[in-house]
Structure 1
Amino acid sequence: MTRKFATIQSDIEWQMREGAIRGGQKLPSVRELADRYSCSKSTVVKAYAELEKRHLVYSVPQSGYYAVAKNGDIAPKPRTVVDFATASPDPELFPYRDFQHCLNKAIDKYRNDLFLYGTPQGLPSFLNVLSKHLPDSQVFARPDEMVVTSGVQQALHLLATMPFPSGKRTVLLEQPGYHLLIRLLETHGIPALGIARDEQGIDLDRLESLFRAGDVKMFYTMPRFHNPLGTCYSERTKKAIAELAARYDVYVIEDDYLADLETEPKRDPIHAYDSSRTVYLKSFSKILFPGLRLGVAVLPPPLRETFKTYKQLSDYDSSLLSQAALEIYMQNGMFDRRRRKIAAAYHRRMRLLTESLDTYNDTGYVRHANVRSGVHTHLVLPEKLNVADLIRKLLPRQIIVKDSSSCFLPNTDPLPILKLSVFQAAEDRIEDSARQLMNAIKDSVTK
């Protein structure tokens, strides 16, 4: 059996490699191969299962086995520029081939459902998969407590514009904070307040004062791997935020968009301390690819029906094909394998950047955070330094950086913070780029 099993595998692989079997082509049936190789059907099924596990073939119920197309792979390109500015995931880590396999299976599995209107809440089978996936982030929720959204951005738009039971209207957010939410609030004329956040966290007394003032309907926060700071809240701070929100009738909007990059499994979200006052948001765009446009909102009962109504009026449903493909991607173990690979890659880059800054930041006037995971960190620069000039001076050195002015509310004075992201920073050039960055800062300060 072992010899026949290996022979079937190697023969199919050879035919795919030589082009005799093309991507998407239906493969011989189990019965046909059993006759051809004079073996049992179970031997053929086992060979196909092993090939499917390696993403060379995929199965379609009541149809058979098909070859996975290979033309979706993108060869790594040499990088001449070190990009510390881009907040989009690295295309070289995208699961092109894996996800193409899952898209093909999703179309065949749900062919009677994908081309009709779905439900505003989400594909029911996908919601069931999510309810088993979220506990990995210490979020325990039933499918009826969730709504699938077209990314976290859509969820924020709905929450910012919909009425809350308290009748309050003001949105409180960290400063610096998410630039697109700031633009959203400004565009819609929604009252907004800011609370300062730095590498140490936030002033909890100030937070209580703002909650007590009476008109804050929601506090938007990124407790984990904050953008642009890269820092995380302590357990004490997260518990305090949950307690204050309950005391002053404020909802916490917890954006956990980088939860899958966590390297410390015991780091709980705010939702774990009070699910009745926390809206938990999770995105799959950063761990897979932005074009997926899928996120999930876990909502407490008082907000759930209003959110669903606003969601239905916004787009009726999020892409059913994306939901079905991601469901299959999670169920067959591909997501966990990809998550570990991507998390490890970004962890190496971030650790290398922080260690390089530790080595080359010998100034007494530039602060950098001790960030070891995630994808963001930052430098706090001297106020006398012209950040725009610094950014221009780095371009001839093929180093791209970005300031954080867009991360502050209008009519406020932005702090001189330089955002650094390792999403698309080539690992082998991080150390030298950090050295050049610090040298450029020193030159700018002394002139």
Structure 2
Amino acid sequence: MLKYESIYQSLMMQIQSGKFSTAAKLPSIRNLTQQFSCSTSTVLTALKKLEEQHIIYAQPKSGYYVVDNHVFKTPLSTDIIDFASASPTWHAFPYKDFQHCINKAIDTYQEELFRYGTPKGWPPLIAEAKKLLESYQVFTHNEQIFITTGVQQALSLVSMMPFPNNRSTILVEQPSYHLYMELLKTLQLPAIGIQRTAKGIDLGRLEQIFHEEDIKFFYTMPRFHNPLGSSYGKKEKEAILQLADQYNVYIVEDDYLADFEYNPKNDPLFADDYHDKVIYLKSFSKIMFPGLRIGLAVLPPSIIDIFQKYKMTTDIDSSMISQAALYLYLKNGMFEHNKTKVSNIYHTRAKILHQSIQDHLSTYESSSEIVMHSHIGLPKRVNLKSFVYHLHEEGIYLDSVERNYLDDFYHERILKLNVSNVDAHRIEEGIRKIASALKNPQNYFL
């Protein structure tokens, strides 16, 4: 082992053990040369390696200090099978690749980081986003693309701002994205629901609502609905677009799982929108990680100005560091390469989940899609809270869809099944235990 490597490892162990805590000053270079009986250049080489790994930093004319003595530790495996969590698997994302992009972004775009950006987003990222959107069959112009602080911000803005149709009521599928339901309740915005099941929605009922109610826009997840996991067919999407045009209703299309689509013929609503009624939203939370806080919004020309005005009042611009890093990640091909890797991990789990439901829970309503989350509809005689508690005691974590409904809409007895954080070899075991519990009723049945 080279001498500088030995010094590097010794200092690293002392930092990680807590001998040198966060913000602590390391011994001087002179002291280190005496301690390790080596030259100044050897010590500097070891310190440079620690600095490049962001473990220490140099303070001119003062010395070297510890940035943070905590190190990442791989979570311990447990016996829990967690079907409740929808967070992405932490080890599925190649974070070191993205770390390179963050570091490079800071080095290359230093000047931009010290300026406020534009309300629309950083132009280089918008140009790269346009290319990415085309891979989803979303063809648009740069001026229609906005970078937002996650899709949640875009949803908040379109919900609050006025629309050209001068209407105020928001129509949402029931159940739907739980954080959006919370947003509607918190802001006390006028909203009504339309039932969605594994088979879709009642198009006749949709037309009735469009005709009779004051609908500003219809919020929908045509692909891999959250929490049901189901998708609309081509005829349903065509009918929704036709009704939106006929009744002058906008559509907010949340395509948060576009990266996990394996059917090249399953295009988003936006692809067939010839009347500029669809607002397309794209998230990076699942294919990358939620902490990135970057979303894409593609807007019809009629609402660009008002959207930009509302966005300026919230944050001026989304994180420039995240935007610059994502730009590099897209431009250098890392995103496309790693998208395949990450989606394959989830697709493997999705296939096991789908087959396990077919094998053990086929008598219950569920989605026919192969995606990392699904659901089962339970009989009315099931006490859902008691059932979830009973399985929790058995090490199976489940969640109902209570939070995915508006308060005044009938809540179906539905269990969400998400395998984002379940190891592939545990999925079938967990589904089998759920099926066994349903076959052996205890005090969780009414």
| TM-score strictly above 0.5 | yes
Residue in structure 2 matched with residue 361 of structure 1 by the alignment: 361
In the alignment, the residues of structure 1 paired with residue 178 and residue 82 of structure 2 have an alpha-carbon distance, to the nearest angstrom, of: 19
Q: SS at the partner of 1:444? A: coil
Residue in structure 2 matched with residue 60 of structure 1 by the alignment: none
In the alignment, the residues of structure 2 paired with residue 74 and residue 309 of structure 1 have an alpha-carbon distance, to the nearest angstrom, of: 44
User: 387, 390, 405: which one pairs with 2:384?
Assistant: 387
Residue in structure 2 matched with residue 29 of structure 1 by the alignment: none
Q: How does 1:174-253 map to 2 (within 5 A)?
A: 174-253=173-252
In the alignment, the residues of structure 1 paired with residue 101 and residue 71 of structure 2 have an alpha-carbon distance, to the nearest angstrom, of: 13
Residue in structure 1 matched with residue 417 of structure 2 by the alignment: 420
Residues 85 and 209 (structure 1), Cα distance of their counterparts in 2 relative to 1, 3 Å cut: same
**Do the aligned partners of 2:257 and 2:286 also contact (CA within 8 Å) in 1?**
yes
Residue in structure 1 matched with residue 114 of structure 2 by the alignment: 115
> What per-residue deviation string (whole Å, max 9, x for no partner) do you get for residues 186-208 of structure 1?
22221111111111111111111
Write the letter of the residue equivalent to 2:390: K
Residue in structure 1 matched with residue 373 of structure 2 by the alignment: 376
Cα distance, 1:74 vs structure 2: 6.0
Residues 72 and 273 (structure 1), Cα distance of their counterparts in 2 relative to 1, 3 Å cut: farther
Residues 108 and 424 (structure 1), Cα distance of their counterparts in 2 relative to 1, 3 Å cut: same
In the alignment, the residues of structure 2 paired with residue 417 and residue 110 of structure 1 have an alpha-carbon distance, to the nearest angstrom, of: 48
> What per-residue deviation string (whole Å, max 9, x for no partner) do you get for residues 137-193 of structure 1?
100112111110011100000000000111100000101111121221122221111
Cα distance, 1:423 vs structure 2: 0.9
**Do the aligned partners of 2:380 and 2:413 also contact (CA within 8 Å) in 1?**
yes
Residue in structure 1 matched with residue 49 of structure 2 by the alignment: 22
Cα distance, 1:361 vs structure 2: 2.2
> What per-residue deviation string (whole Å, max 9, x for no partner) do you get for residues 107-159 of structure 1?
11111011221111000000000011101110011211111001110000000
Residue in structure 1 matched with residue 285 of structure 2 by the alignment: 285
In the alignment, the residues of structure 2 paired with residue 23 and residue 160 of structure 1 have an alpha-carbon distance, to the nearest angstrom, of: 48
Q: SS at the partner of 1:378? A: strand
Residues 74 and 281 (structure 1), Cα distance of their counterparts in 2 relative to 1, 3 Å cut: farther
Q: SS at the partner of 1:323? A: helix
**Do the aligned partners of 2:157 and 2:310 also contact (CA within 8 Å) in 1?**
yes
Write the letter of the residue equivalent to 1:389: S
Report % sequence identity: 44
Q: SS at the partner of 1:330? A: helix
**Do the aligned partners of 1:351 and 1:371 also contact (CA within 8 Å) in 2?**
no
1:329 equivalent to 2:329? Answer yes
**Do the aligned partners of 1:137 and 1:265 also contact (CA within 8 Å) in 2?**
no
In the alignment, the residues of structure 1 paired with residue 376 and residue 52 of structure 2 have an alpha-carbon distance, to the nearest angstrom, of: 53
Residue in structure 2 matched with residue 166 of structure 1 by the alignment: 165
In the alignment, the residues of structure 2 paired with residue 78 and residue 229 of structure 1 have an alpha-carbon distance, to the nearest angstrom, of: 28
**Do the aligned partners of 2:250 and 2:277 also contact (CA within 8 Å) in 1?**
yes
1:257 equivalent to 2:265? Answer no
Cα distance, 1:246 vs structure 2: 0.8
> What per-residue deviation string (whole Å, max 9, x for no partner) do you get for residues 293-317 of structure 1?
0001000011111001100001110
Write the letter of the residue equivalent to 1:268: D
**Do the aligned partners of 1:352 and 1:431 also contact (CA within 8 Å) in 2?**
yes
1:410 equivalent to 2:411? Answer no
- Aligned residue pairs, count: 387
In the alignment, the residues of structure 1 paired with residue 78 and residue 232 of structure 2 have an alpha-carbon distance, to the nearest angstrom, of: 34
> What per-residue deviation string (whole Å, max 9, x for no partner) do you get for residues 77-103 of structure 1?
424211111111111113321111000
**Do the aligned partners of 1:72 and 1:97 also contact (CA within 8 Å) in 2?**
no
Residues 145 and 23 (structure 1), Cα distance of their counterparts in 2 relative to 1, 3 Å cut: farther
Residues 338 and 77 (structure 1), Cα distance of their counterparts in 2 relative to 1, 3 Å cut: farther
Scaled by the length of structure 2, the TM-score of the pair is 0.83
Write the letter of the residue equivalent to 1:406: R
1:400 equivalent to 2:397? Answer yes
> What per-residue deviation string (whole Å, max 9, x for no partner) do you get for residues 340-375 of structure 1?
11111111111101111111126x4x22222212x2
Residues 389 and 143 (structure 1), Cα distance of their counterparts in 2 relative to 1, 3 Å cut: same
Q: SS at the partner of 1:367? A: coil
Moved more, 257-266 or 294-303: 257-266
Structure 2: runs of 5 or more not aligned: 10-44, 54-69
Q: CA RMSD of the aligned region, Å? A: 2.2
In the alignment, the residues of structure 1 paired with residue 76 and residue 283 of structure 2 have an alpha-carbon distance, to the nearest angstrom, of: 27
1:339 equivalent to 2:339? Answer yes
Structure 1: runs of 5 or more not aligned: 1-10, 27-70
Scaled by the length of structure 1, the TM-score of the pair is 0.83
In the alignment, the residues of structure 2 paired with residue 299 and residue 210 of structure 1 have an alpha-carbon distance, to the nearest angstrom, of: 24
> What per-residue deviation string (whole Å, max 9, x for no partner) do you get for residues 369-408 of structure 1?
22212x2100000011011111111112211010011111
**Do the aligned partners of 1:148 and 1:296 also contact (CA within 8 Å) in 2?**
yes
In the alignment, the residues of structure 2 paired with residue 341 and residue 187 of structure 1 have an alpha-carbon distance, to the nearest angstrom, of: 38
Write the letter of the residue equivalent to 1:380: G
Cα distance, 1:261 vs structure 2: 1.1
Cα distance, 1:263 vs structure 2: 1.1
Write the letter of the residue equivalent to 2:350: M
**Do the aligned partners of 1:73 and 1:96 also contact (CA within 8 Å) in 2?**
no
Cα distance, 1:23 vs structure 2: 6.4
**Do the aligned partners of 2:228 and 2:373 also contact (CA within 8 Å) in 1?**
yes
Q: SS at the partner of 1:196? A: strand
Write the letter of the residue equivalent to 1:142: H
Q: SS at the partner of 1:265? A: coil
Q: SS at the partner of 1:113? A: helix
